[in-house]
Structure 1
Amino acid sequence: MIEAHQHTVSEVLGDRFLHEIPPYQRPYAWTPDEAKQLLIDLVEAVGASTDEPYFLGSIVLIRPKGQIAGQVVDGQQRLTTLTILAAVLRDVAVDEREKAALTSVVYIEPNPFAGQVEAVRVKAHDRDRGFFKDSIQMPGATAKSEPSHEPKNEAQELMWENAQALRSLTLELPAAERQKLVAFLLTKCVLVVVSTESRAAALRIFRVLNDRGLDLSNADVIKADLLDKFNDAGEMAHQAERWREFENDLGRDEFEGLLENLRFIREEMRSRRTLSEAYNERFHGVGANVVREFFDKELAPAHRQYMKILDGDSSDFPADLRAAASEALAGLLLLPNRDWTAVAIAAALKLGQTPALVQLLERLEGLAWIMQLGRRYDTQRLNRYVSILRGLKLGAGEIEHALTPTGEEIADAWSSLNGPVYGRFPTRVVRAMLERLDRLMAEQPVVWEGQKTVEHILPQNPQDGSWTQFSEDQRETITHTLGNLVLLTSRKNSGASNMEFQNKVDVYFGLGAAKAKKRATYASAQELAHLKAWDHETYADRHRRHTRMLAARWRIPMPTSVA
């Protein structure tokens, strides 16, 4: 049976309910900006002077009939933040009645004469429960300059940061306005509490809320469905903790990406369903043993390989293979899409850290860049990756066939590589190509997280009377090609864009009268320092070297007329 009733905050956090965040729930994730926005919205609502209740959303509970304690299936972010706000308001209150009203919705003091033991209204995650109680819920906790003990994870950090952010805002309010806010929060703000005794029913509601676009991810729904297969509470908590560790290691978005990659590897096709629907269909009607096997033999090893791939980490390879593996991963990670990752995961799980895997990654890098240069759309790329996944199952001959580009793909890739890449591709793709080139040219590749600028050596719009060594036809042909582009490690200097070559070089390297900070860090820029002039012959030599270097790396055979 499902029941839904509207309750005020003082009721939801009062004697009629006791809320526990179950182990399968994701960690607390509201940021200070979100917490402050909640308070700002409440303050504005107080000033609106309306008799209508202020709706704060809904929560979903699994609550056995006749009991006050319930597990929070949806709404833990909201309940946790409301508890933090109430604790902050309690700790700045000067009126004892106001303080008592706020304390009652956060913390229950022990009273041996009344037979009352110490309790809290909201029990946080197991691993956050002690921190939340001591640093937030205990009377006076949020008024301290530091939490009760050092936060041990991001959720605890956010709990304390939100408390401090809300405290700063509430202290800016006059006492009379704070008291109006407290009365409004406790008596005028309402939530719809949806309760059911059935975990399955609660999860159905959970999925409906997700489909309607509330703050639940596919991974949240999948986790709830899978953990529900475990009847043993201890094992459920253990598997929930493993899931949380996987998600924390990768980050929320990348973890969902891992789940999608596993789906793609298994189904070998693009899905027309949501990710949660795909997993619900896969695990429908199965028992704990099947889910346990998925965690142990699929999710855990894939999680490790995916982390290594995203970090470009080749440390698991034998020493003589690490450099080649690292170089292949670096080339793949520079691609503007990630649809190749399913193949890399499947290959790593199938082949292990072997020469065969290194060779596959190198071939995969070349094929992926050939499809990028040939502007193959995502369905074409995914179909090719499906062929490689099938080849992994069938043997070396099928893999070789799937990794070999067609003649048309090679011709299209070479045409793009040898042509006006700057006008043909977004700047981020050109920048990635130049970074890949630098890794091939440099003894020690540049690691630069700051601004990267693609600069034209021969300007796009030279001033009249300048750069006369190039004809109009030559300028039109070469301006946007690889040989005329250079990657710099700082924001573009518009004052240098139209300078003559030697003056540009002075700006790039901070030489002569130029006062600029040195920007020519990349190897392809460093080589300009040794040139006296920039003419068509110099350009042609540089363009030839650079295009051939990338073509060799990506296994793009050059046309006979060029070779």
Structure 2
Amino acid sequence: MSKLNVDQKTIKGLFQDKRSDFLIPDYQRPYAWGENECQTLWDDIFTFAIPDDGSTEFDSNSEYFLGPIVTFKNQENTKMEVIDGQQRLTTLMLLLRAFYSKFSHMQDRASISTKQNIEKCLWKTDEFGEPDMNALKIDSEVATDKDKDEFLEILRTGDASKGQKSRYAENYRFFQNSIQAFLDRFPSYFAYLPTRIMNNCILLPIEAESQDTALRIFSTLNDRGKPLSDADIFKAQFYKFYSAQGQKDVFITKWKALEELCEKIFHPISGTPMDELFTRYMYFVRAKKGIKSSTTEALRKFYEKDGYALLKNQDTLDDLIVLADFWNDVSNQDKDRFSARILRRLFVLNYAPNGMWTYFLSVYFMQHKDTEGMLEEDAFCVFLDKITGFIWTYAVTNPGVNALRTPVYAEMINIVNNQPITFSDFKFDAAKINSMFSNFSFNNGRPITKSMVTWWAFQSEDQSLMPLETVLEIEHIYARNRQDKEQSLTDGRNLEALGNKALLEKRINIRAADYRFVDKKKYYLGFTNSRNQKKDGTRVHELNDLANTANDFEEKDIVARSSKIMAAFVAFLSNNDLTV
């Protein structure tokens, strides 16, 4: 069991501890606190330390809890690496330094004593307790923080010029101004405020024996801000590797651009956008290693193998950038990279019943891209059709993304070995598929329902491509409200049948929700309202066609359309060699 050292301490008790030598490691994010957070901290500690503006006596036994500081002792440099508490620790250092500057010319006993206490919080001391003004008790190696040197310089000198625009400088100047305003208003209390902050404001240092343990604690405790991600840890390894190559600045530029791109294109349910990119790349590396186990390792466990060897390879970062660019073009529906028929297929896949297709496609792209990052179109079309048919059908026959791992992982290995994708051990019986789909409940809560109606919409060559950001919902062509009122369906199950469902833009679906078909038609086609405002119709071609050719949509139409969709889908599976 991992050991922890947990001991509530005052700021003075923690900062003046001989063992306190804090390091904000390279994988941490840059300092993020601004004036709002500093104002809140100042207001809180001022209210605590000077109750009722000094009219109420301060209780010297009272305490104000500022939060935890989670660290582990790095055995390589013996420093206390800060995993949680970076923001408050940095800010408290700036606050104490701002106080210290004000005491530099004060000679009364209280001021001298307070100044000496602050010195021992900011600087290391020799065996006689004298501060070494060249040895701060905190250091920062944050890879993507270009201002970290400015932070350390402010602590050393106590100066932050107006030309310095970093958060460190701005916050330091905020504290300088706040302290001056306090001194002007309460000169007799001046030494009391920093003393009470040091003696009565409490931190909870939690020292773990390893980085893993510290990160787990952080994940448990952190209820504000962004927790450290796996990608933050990977960034540190890249940073060390590229620094050793003399390419530190090049790496920082590439990483920041990659991070910004991922923020724009990836929106994972869990983890960060950068974690998502590393995950997609992981499946390619897994396939190259021939790993087809259905048990997928945690992301960090995968990359930390052999001392993070994969992150010490010159090609890895370049691969990640190429992969991110590809997905950026997918999300932008880039017509320079993709033809219309490819974009139509990618649009459908964006409505897949699970996210496995993104890993599958990442492996295919990384293996088959040419030197310009392009894919051979005909082969790419075949691949997209095949995975669409397989993933859609497997969602009905073997629901759950975990079940999909076994056939997909094996095919990923075929991809990297330049073998054809066959799903030879998992082909479907056409008759059984027809029966299963006919008896399957395509209710709106199941992702496969939207997947199927999207696939069906794009079986029409006349269906135009829509932007991916279009908000599409599932339309009941024969309205639920109509059945409630008319009870004209002999089989109530047909209301939720696939033949009664279609894609429809949300803005139109809201208007057309509970109308008879004859009333829905104008919303499908578009109309001009009483204020002479034109309301556009749907871009779903089938609904436009239906509105132009049909006077009603009845139970027989639901049944016929269900059969038509199912027959087309089974034929699609057969054409892609997915049936026996």
Q: For 2:159 and 2:196, how far apart are their aligned partners in 1?
A: 22
Matched residue type, 1:269 = S
Q: For 2:320 and 2:490, how far apart are their aligned partners in 1?
A: 53
Q: For 1:395 and 1:79, how far apart are their aligned partners in 2?
A: 48
Q: How far is 1:324 from its partner?
A: 3.7
Matched residue type, 2:513 = S
Contact 2:66 2:203 in 1 (8 A): yes
Query: 1:111 maps to what in 2?
Result: none
Q: 1:12 to 1:210 in 2, by over 3 A?
A: closer
Q: For 2:175 and 2:551, how far apart are their aligned partners in 1?
A: 61
Matched residue type, 2:561 = H
Report whether the alignment pairs 1:309 with 2:327. yes
Contact 1:59 1:72 in 2 (8 A): no
Query: 1:73 maps to what in 2?
Result: 81
Q: 1:18 to 1:443 in 2, by over 3 A?
A: same
Deviations 1:280-331 (A, max 9, x none): 4x32xx5x8x4456x4345642553255236516999996x63343333332
Query: 1:533 maps to what in 2?
Result: 551
Q: 1:497 to 1:389 in 2, by over 3 A?
A: closer
Q: Which protein is bigger by CA-based radius of gyration? A: 2
Report whether the alignment pairs 1:454 with 2:496. no
Q: For 2:509 and 2:120, how far apart are their aligned partners in 1?
A: 56
Q: How far is 1:382 from its partner?
A: 0.6
Q: 1:435 to 1:397 in 2, by over 3 A?
A: closer
Query: 2:521 maps to what in 1?
Result: 505
Q: 1:229 to 1:325 in 2, by over 3 A?
A: same
Q: Which secondary structure does the structure 2 equivalent of 1:411 belong to? A: helix
Q: How far is 1:392 from its partner?
A: 2.7
Contact 2:154 2:169 in 1 (8 A): no
Structural mapping, 1:161-240, within 5 Å: 185-191=197-203, 203=211, 205-206=213-214, 209=217, 215-221=227-233, 226=237, 233=244
Deviations 1:113-150 (A, max 9, x none): x99689896546354343884899697979x8xx955x
Q: How far is 1:390 from its partner?
A: 3.1
Deviations 1:333-359 (A, max 9, x none): 222421233322222222222243442
Contact 1:505 1:529 in 2 (8 A): yes
Q: CA RMSD in A?
A: 5.9
Q: How far is 1:228 from its partner?
A: 10
Q: For 2:483 and 2:427, how far apart are their aligned partners in 1?
A: 46
Q: For 1:123 and 1:464, how far apart are their aligned partners in 2?
A: 67
Q: Which secondary structure does the structure 2 equivalent of 1:57 belong to? A: strand
Report whether the alignment pairs 1:359 with 2:382. yes
Q: 1:522 to 1:365 in 2, by over 3 A?
A: same
Aligned residues: 518
Q: Which secondary structure does the structure 1 equivalent of 2:389 belong to? A: helix
Contact 1:414 1:556 in 2 (8 A): no
Report whether the alignment pairs 1:415 with 2:462. no
Q: Which secondary structure does the structure 2 equivalent of 1:472 belong to? A: coil
Match of 2:392 among 369, 393, 418: 369
Report whether the alignment pairs 1:396 with 2:416. no
Q: For 1:529 and 1:135, how far apart are their aligned partners in 2?
A: 70
Structural mapping, 1:32-431, within 5 Å: 51-52=62-63, 54=65, 56-60=67-71, 73-75=81-83, 78-84=85-91, 123=140, 125=142, 127-130=144-147, 133=150, 148-149=164-165, 185-191=197-203, 203=211, 205-206=213-214, 209=217, 215-221=227-233, 226=237, 233=244, 241=252, 246-251=258-263, 253-261=272-280, 262=282, 264-265=286-287, 266=289, 267-271=291-295, 274-280=298-304, 282-283=305-306, 290-291=309-310, 295-298=313-316, 300-302=318-320, 304-305=322-323, 307-309=325-327, 311-312=329-330, 322-352=339-369, 353-355=375-377, 356-374=379-397, 376-392=399-415, 396=419, 399=422, 401=424, 404-407=427-430, 410-411=433-434, 414-415=437-438, 421=442, 423=443, 425-426=445-446, 429-431=448-450
Deviations 1:237-278 (A, max 9, x none): 579746666555424623323444416534322337543344
Match of 2:26 among 23, 28, 31: 23
Gaps of 5+ in 1: 109-113, 559-563
TM-score, length-normalised on structure 2? 0.65
Gaps of 5+ in 2: 52-57, 124-130, 264-270, 370-374
Query: 1:547 maps to what in 2?
Result: 565
Q: How far is 1:37 from its partner?
A: 8.3
Contact 1:488 1:521 in 2 (8 A): yes
Q: How far is 1:520 from its partner?
A: 3.5
Q: Which secondary structure does the structure 1 equivalent of 2:482 belong to? A: coil
Q: For 1:348 and 1:492, how far apart are their aligned partners in 2?
A: 36
TM-score, length-normalised on structure 1? 0.67
Q: How far is 1:6 from its partner?
A: 5.9
